[in-house]
Structure 1
Amino acid sequence: MKMLQHKFVEFIPHKIEEGILYISLDYCTAIHRCACGCGNEVVTPISPTDWKLSFNGKAISLHPSIGNWNFECQSHYWIKNNNVEYAGRWTKEEIDVGRVQDKNHKTQYFECDQSLSELPAKPIKTKARIWSTIANFFKLS
């Protein structure tokens, strides 16, 4: 397969047709049949720690590449402007390193998110407080 058509849907259909990339923005998910032709369904969650979707008004791109390491085919490709661009095969070691990097990226992302919510709330200076500080300054002079 060299090209995918894109189709925006609310719900992912029960029957996934070959050659179509279904995108549900409501559920932040894209799905298609593996580009190698093996027939497996490839789910790509769209999120800050998974895939990013670009749409230029005519074509779809997904980033990063799609590595189907859990499938027998172990196909590896990019979807750029609706075109399938095959990438080189990865060794088991490269796959393992990639999985560790993905896990670390997710851990860092969610730890950062959590640490922000744990920060103590700082009082926000309001205009009234600023003006009262200025007024007090002039009263003391």
Structure 2
Amino acid sequence: MPKFLEAGFLYVSEEFHTAAHLCACGCGQKVRTPLGPTEWTVRADSHGPTLRPSVGNWQLRCKSHYLITNGSVQWSNQWTEKQIHAGRQREQARRSAYYDARKPKVSWWRLLLDYVRNWLGL
């Protein structure tokens, strides 16, 4: 990522799986979005980049909320603290479900059999 970002540009690092831009509200704050199966995705075509899901800058003073679609900013509604909290819980649940589904399944019978074989020296 460049040290200084230019307004109106979405910078993407495939190597570091991240995207960055200056907040669309004009406050000048850098916004970084991690890219990955449980985070944001970027698609680029001749119309411009699309970043999903929406960007909710709840930690910034501006608390801006928007989508970047085909290179254009589409403003979304402000969220209440309750909505922000619920959104963060949904994000965590989605991450947990994704990574839990990828954990190797442990067969207790297999573990017991391996233990007995090891104990018997087989």
Shift of 1:118: 3.5
Counterpart in 2 of 1:53? 42
Measured against aligned partners, the alpha-carbon deviations of 1:54-88 in whole angstroms (never above 9, x if no partner) come to 11244110111000010011000000000000001
Question: 1:119, 1:55 → 2: CA distance?
Answer: 40
Question: What residue identity is the alignment partner of 1:102?
Answer: E
CA RMSD of aligned residues (A): 1.2
Q: TM-score, normalised by structure 1?
A: 0.72
Question: What residue identity is the alignment partner of 2:4?
Answer: K
**Structure 2 unpaired stretches of 5+:** 108-122
Indicate yes or no: 2:79 matched with 1:90: yes
**Structure 1 unpaired stretches of 5+:** 1-11, 121-141
Q: Tell me, what secondary structure is at the counterpart of 1:106?
A: helix
Counterpart in 2 of 1:79? 68
Change (3 A) 1:58 1:119: farther
Q: Tell me, what secondary structure is at the counterpart of 1:20?
A: coil
Q: TM-score, normalised by structure 2?
A: 0.83
Measured against aligned partners, the alpha-carbon deviations of 1:39-63 in whole angstroms (never above 9, x if no partner) come to 1100011100000111124411011
Shift of 1:29: 0.9
Among 82, 91, 97, the residue aligned to 1:102? 91
Counterpart in 2 of 1:38? 27
- Which structure's CA Rg is the greater one? 1
Question: 1:86, 1:52 → 2: CA distance?
Answer: 18
Structure 1 runs of 4+ aligned residues shifted over 3 Å read none
Indicate yes or no: 2:40 matched with 1:18: no
Question: What residue identity is the alignment partner of 1:59?
Answer: G
Give the length in aligned residue pairs: 107
Moved more, 21-30 or 95-104: 21-30
Aligned-pair identity in percent equals 37
Question: What residue identity is the alignment partner of 1:76?
Answer: H
Counterpart in 2 of 1:64? 53
